[in-house]
Amino acid sequence: MAQTQRSMSALFTLLADNTTRAISATDLRDAVESLRQREGESYISSAAATVVASTGVYVKAAGTSTLVAGAYEFDDDSGTDNRLMYTGAETVHCDVGAVISMTSVASNQVICFKIAKNGVVIDSSEVQRKVGTGSDVGALVCRASTDLDTGDYVELWVTNNTTSGNVTVELCNLHVTGFTE
């Protein structure tokens, strides 16, 4: 039996005053479905250098990613690397996080990351790290909070604020948790 996702306001209206005892078993199933946490996760399974053609200009991080089994209402948009796309029906408020290990092609580079929604970086998610020696592996966490509608997606983007030197995301776990609004 199919359940229907409902917004929080629709659930509150339904459950606020049940003096008529009109809440059906289907309504309760819909409520449980609507309150279920949405979740998606992927990780970099094969690192690749991200070409930073212009200093300070963000580009999508390169590398092959793998969708983690058990995703609920998120997928990788038909195998698109470094992307988690929301497939649910109702708008959800999401916490997006990326745990990253990276290297740069040169020494003394300031590398910056941001989460992007639908190809547009979320400025409040910016995090930076200075890499002393290019072969050093630097680690950091990048986080954002955003609303997602059906078909919206999130990705990890990167830039080099020092030169146009390439950045390699050696390891990354991209995770999204969504909650009904």
Q: What is the chain's pLDDT, residue by residue, as a tens digit (181 residues)?
A: 566 777 777 777 766 666 677 777 777 777 777 778 899 999 999 999 999 999 999 999 999 999 999 999 999 999 999 999 999 988 999 999 999 999 999 999 999 999 999 999 999 999 999 999 878 898 999 999 999 999 999 999 999 999 999 999 999 999 999 988 7
- Quote the tokens at residue 74: 């998120």
Give residue 2's pLDDT: 64
Give residue 3's domain range. 1-36
Q: What is the pTM for the complete model shown?
A: 0.88
pLDDT at site 18: 66
Q: Are 26 and 89 found together in one domain?
A: no
8 and 43: one domain? no
Q: Per-residue DSSP letters for 7-44? A: -HHHHHHHHH--TT----HHHHHHHHHHHSPEEEEEEE
Closest CA to 94 of 39, 36, 35, 44: 39
Say what the pLDDT of residue 79 is: 94
In CATH, what number is assigned to the domain containing residue 108? Answer: 2.60.120.760
Alpha-carbon 53 to chain mean position: 24
> Positive or negative, the Cα torsion across 80, 83, 84, 88?
negative
Domain count, the chain: 2
